[in-house]
Chain A
């Protein structure tokens, strides 16, 4: 975690540079006023800020490419930004850099029901993608908590997950192709509509999860699947986290793959209920939101089985969502968990550690123990079915003594995660926030390979510099 800096711009660009950018992107799409720039000084990550020198909002893919081409020719760093909901500081500006935000590139270019694909510009809002699939009876499953505002480009660049990851996978599983502006300003099309395609390296996969450090994604070709006909949502509460974890393990052991197995601890439930008022139990130690979808008969069967398993694993109560609207309200409430936790303390630091599923109860218990030892408030929720937990530290960034304890606690949680064969980030990316911890997770060769790749594609280090890792020597 880097220290708090300022949201106001530090360095500026020369008038001729600004003039040129205005010619390329249109005058109204180039922002330079202090009042315009300050709100771009951060993303959704706590305690990370940096001023941008200029923000460009290209209106077409061509303009976006032209801006990048010009910037690299002038050695100006480029930070790509979607909606700035990232949780690792990926789109936080860098000194003297341009922020290119793609929110105006929000057209859905094609829905192809014959091939079950959808082509959209990278600034399209995630939920708009699924909304466009709906009338065709199709479905775009990845649903990050931020889906009403995150962009598909940001999702691809972070390989975002969601509430349905257990059954449907993550963003990567739906990316069939993309248009990318490369660090030299050239434009490449990667991938195809073919279900099978092994012509050369799978280049598109390199850009999934690249966090804006290898290229700027301007269009995305996505896979769609048939929309499930039925859905059942259950809410089970437990008096211990172990009982909840046991129930989840048994569901998976019985080879039931529900689309959603989300859990929330008591503190998270209290905050979410305070905001959403959907009737979450606030006295249970753990609540698990379970959802199964698919063929109506199978769904009924699986829902009944999950209910029985939850009960035999010691659930205090199992409740069925009354109807579709209630189910949506419950899922929406779960999506607000992170923001709702901000009600308690001024600073909300969310982590994203992930372990093999069988170690889930262990990592959750460890987090609880760390919280007690370092006298911190930590709430935990997450994607139980994916082994992905979000220990959320409720603290105050202006209290230096407490922040020291926060850093110690984070270090221990990361170490334990790696010891269990886990990863320090399951879906939010490395960005700035996890950068100091990344090397700990890799052997020397694989860490070096990542840097080599970056150097090969972006030798001058102009695309989102300083994110994921620092390059060893200045290469410009």
Chain B
């Protein structure tokens, strides 16, 4: 096999062992769960089809082409197929390696794309200080009224078209990031556990309040919370976008920030991060200095709702005057990526004054899917409208969801009439209310 593309294959696709590709027995059971297949009904837009293309590359029947690259980026990475697949196909792994293959072959090259990838993956999301600095600028931009001035000025035309369309939906950056809201160590009156807290990157900029709420809920349940300063991105953004090398680097940096042996769990409240950072051992398997610690990390990593149910969280008391009808959207990377479905519902149902109603197609992707709403605005918009329509049917005035991307996508979809909150924030609020009622 002298074909150069085959050599690249040997680097990424085949590195992951042929049996992973072969695991798909092309039964088609995943097709009805795949949003892109349902849209076009073309096999190549389905999990089975995408895996067939990967296998064709591994078999040397296909080169890594531009078409292949585009297909891998048309996939939402929503992992609905992973839940649906009875054969246990490890689609997340295939998908990450396929995208890495696409990047290695550079088949989607345009100077603009390369620049944006460098800026976001290798600068912004690789360097915590830089992300914060940009966050502060954005905050200034939004708070100062400069924002409307710029919109009028036409300056936005300098941005790539997809990003320009997105500008009005850019999330509002918080005044304070997590480090200002959370102390390095916070201790409950009676300590039962000691946990490490991940502040995330987008979560930190846009939803630092959710991070604060998470800490409060943990304290309320006897957990001492250790929150290292200036944490970086966990690397999920890199892994999902074909930069496995940088993803490994981010993982190493994050592991270094925690004294694992002293902690009972590492807590994340962002589904997208959780589904990635529970698999550091995979990413760092070949790194003798980190492989062992990565395994310990994976063992201890928990989504907040998973942890709360595991330790038997305390149910807040009290009754609200008027129940608030609330529904729950399952973030793909929580239900499909981590198999966590019951726990967030259990938390919501424990909150007094909250009337829980199920959402039709709760596990269907909302179209946020990382940066998918930037790269594939049309398909993302369609999924967003479908989600909003299901939410409208429930008559709920509040939607709970546990991922910053979904949060923003849904908020933009339902408009200002319906609130969007993280389940843990609702729980924190209930504890606060309870305290007020008691005092």
Contacts and interface: CB of A to CB of B under 8 A. Distances in A.
Interface of A: 6-8, 31, 33-36, 38-44, 46, 57, 83-85, 103-104, 125, 146, 148-149, 272, 274-276, 336, 338-340, 342-343, 346-348
A42 B23 contact: no
Contacts of A342: 23, 25, 27, 86-88
Given A57-B41, A57-B42, A339-B87, A38 B25 contact: no
A127 to B, nearest CB: 8
Contact of B48 (A8, A39, A146): A39
A35 B68 contact: yes
A36 B25 contact: no
A30 to B, nearest CB: 12
A393 B341 CA distance: 34
B31 interface: yes
Interface stretch (B49-57, B167-175, B251-259, B286-294): B49-57
13 contacts: A8-B56, A33-B67, A36-B43, A38-B53, A39-B42, A44-B28, A84-B28, A148-B29, A149-B29, A276-B86, A340-B86, A340-B87, A340-B88
A3 to B, nearest CB: 15
A336 B86 contact: yes
Contacts of A57: 41-42
Nearest to B29: A339
B26 interface: yes
A38 B52 contact: yes
Which of A57, A83, A272, A342 gathers most chain B CB within 10 Å?
A: A342
Given A8-B56, A35-B53, A57-B41, A339 B85 contact: yes
A346 B22 contact: yes
A38 B67 CA distance: 12
Which of B23, B29, B41 gathers most chain A CB within 10 Å?
A: B29
A35 B389 CA distance: 34
A336 B88 CA distance: 11
B23 A39 contact: no
A146 B86 contact: no
Nearest to A125: B32
A104 B88 contact: no
Contacts of B65: 34-35
B71 interface: yes
Contact of A348 (B25, B49, B85): B25
Contacts of A148: 29, 32
B52 A346 contact: no
B42 to A, nearest CB: 7
Given A43-B26, A46-B25, A7 B41 contact: no
B52 A83 contact: no
B46 A39 contact: yes
Given A39-B44, A275-B88, A343-B87, A336 B29 contact: yes
B309 interface: no
Given A46-B25, A340-B87, A342-B87, 9 more contacts: A38-B52, A38-B53, A40-B43, A84-B26, A103-B41, A104-B41, A339-B86, A340-B86, A347-B22
Given A35-B44, A39-B48, A275-B86, A346 B23 contact: yes
Which of A31, A46, A274, A336 gathers most chain B CB within 10 Å?
A: A336
A111 to B, nearest CB: 22
A57 B88 CA distance: 30
Contacts of A339: 25, 27, 29, 85-87
B19 interface: yes
Interface in B15-49: 19, 22-23, 25-29, 31-32, 41-44, 46, 48-49
Nearest to A145: B29
A6 B27 CA distance: 18
Given A57-B41, A336-B29, A41 B86 contact: no
B53 A346 contact: no
Contacts of B86: 272, 275-276, 336, 338-340, 342
A45 to B, nearest CB: 8
A39 B30 CA distance: 14
B94 to A, nearest CB: 14
Shortest 7 CB-CB contacts between residues of A and residues of B:
A39-B49, A39-B43, A339-B86, A342-B87, A336-B86, A340-B86, A35-B67
Contacts of A42: 26, 52
A138 B44 CA distance: 36
B156 interface: no
Nearest to B61: A8
Contacts of A43: 26
A232 B29 CA distance: 26
B439 to A, nearest CB: 43
A42 B32 CA distance: 18
B376 to A, nearest CB: 17
A34 B42 contact: no
B41 to A, nearest CB: 4
Contacts of B25: 44, 46, 339, 342, 347-348
Contacts of B32: 125, 148-149
B130 interface: no
B41 A44 contact: no
B62 interface: yes
A336 B30 CA distance: 11
Contacts of A348: 25, 87
A34 B71 CA distance: 13
Given A57-B42, A340-B87, A149 B31 contact: yes
Contacts of B71: 35
B56 A38 contact: yes
B1 to A, nearest CB: 15
A164 B41 CA distance: 29
Contacts of A276: 86
B30 to A, nearest CB: 9
Contacts of B53: 35, 38-39
A38 B62 contact: yes
A43 B52 CA distance: 11
Contacts of A83: 28, 31
Contacts of A103: 41
B88 A343 contact: yes
Contacts of A44: 25-28
B418 to A, nearest CB: 28
Contacts of A31: 42
Nearest to A277: B339
Contact of B56 (A7, A274, A275, A336): A7
A8 B58 CA distance: 13
Contacts of B68: 35
Nearest to B87: A342
Contacts of A336: 29, 86
Contact of A35 (B23, B27, B62): B62
A336 B67 CA distance: 32
B71 to A, nearest CB: 6
Contacts of B62: 8, 34-35, 38
Nearest to A35: B67
Nearest to A36: B44
A419 B29 CA distance: 35
A57 B52 CA distance: 19
B165 to A, nearest CB: 25
Contacts of A338: 27, 86
A94 B55 CA distance: 20
A7 B88 contact: no
B31 A7 contact: no
Contacts of B56: 7-8, 38
